[in-house]
Amino acid sequence: MLPYDYQLSLMTGAFYSFDHALEKLNAAYSFIGVTEHLGASLQHLRRSHGLAELTEHRENTGTKTKAAEDIPDAVRNLVGEKSRNDTRLHQLVSRCYS
């Protein structure tokens, strides 16, 4: 029951193409960060918005992760298919912070 591009839809509402979603993001948000690059995202937010120093806080990060190879290919393919634009946005924004 996974909807298509769930995260991007939450951020933009309905969109008809990836470019349209980017236009809506640009109009609605002044900042988008990436959890995997939290420190760099926070520094960009601080600089771009004239904020005081921001500190990264880590809590309940956990130690167990499910190995990717333990996820069945059918599930991996379904999630990939239904999250194609979510993945594109994540990759695009991640390049800004890596």
And the tokens for 5? 């591009």
CB 79 within 8 A of CB 68: no
pLDDT value, residue 57: 84
pLDDT value, residue 2: 79
Q: Which amino acid is at 9?
A: S
pLDDT 10s per residue in the chain (98 long)? 778 999 999 999 999 999 999 999 999 999 999 999 999 999 999 999 999 999 888 887 777 776 777 889 999 999 999 999 999 999 999 999 98
pLDDT value, residue 80: 94
CB 2 within 8 A of CB 79: yes
pTM listed for this prediction: 0.82
pLDDT value, residue 59: 80
Q: What does each C-alpha distance from 62 to 1, 22, 47 come to in angstroms? A: 27, 33, 30
94 closest CA partner among 38, 51, 17: 38
pLDDT value, residue 22: 97
% helix / strand / coil in the chain, to the nearest 5? Answer: 60, 0, 40
